[in-house]
Amino acid sequence: MTDRLKDLRRPRLLIRAARFGLTTYRRDRALKRLIPSERKPTPARAVEVLLDQEAEVEANRTSHYATYKVAEHVGILIALMAEAQLAAACEETSLETKAARPALPENVVALVPRPRRQLIVSGNSDLRRAT
């Protein structure tokens, strides 16, 4: 996943438009539209699906197809940036909690709920910094 994100190169105007849209990104609304399913995907899974969708839209853009829509492309890039940041934050949180929590004996089951963090997306973030 991170290799595909690092290798992603798009026109500066598309990236700038997506950065402006990050401030108004709402995960529930955007993912319902872009990834229709019964349950919300994990951030890592959403990034994979969005990367595939973005590759299709990019192919339409570079082939100069009449079906290419800039607004759709920017919407996918907004969701991709936000989900990549969320996936990175979730991964970082899980690494912190694993390192801070002592190992339990095999016969003990942990019933302590994990703390939830809310990701605040800023307009200054970048797709490459999200990985």
Average pLDDT over residues 13-18: 91
Average pLDDT over residues 104-122: 56
Average pLDDT over residues 31-53: 88
Domain limits, the chain:
2-100
Q: How much is the mean pLDDT over the chain?
A: 79
Q: What whole-number distance in Å separates Cα of residue 127 and Cα of residue 117?
A: 21
Average pLDDT over residues 12-39: 88
Average pLDDT over residues 52-76: 92
pLDDT score for 75: 93
Range of lowest pLDDT (24-28, 89-93, 127-131): 127-131
Q: Are 119 and 89 a contacting pair, CB within 8 Å?
A: yes
DSSP H stretches of helix in the chain: 2-6, 12-21, 27-34, 43-62, 70-100
Average pLDDT over residues 106-128: 56
6 pLDDT higher than 80: no
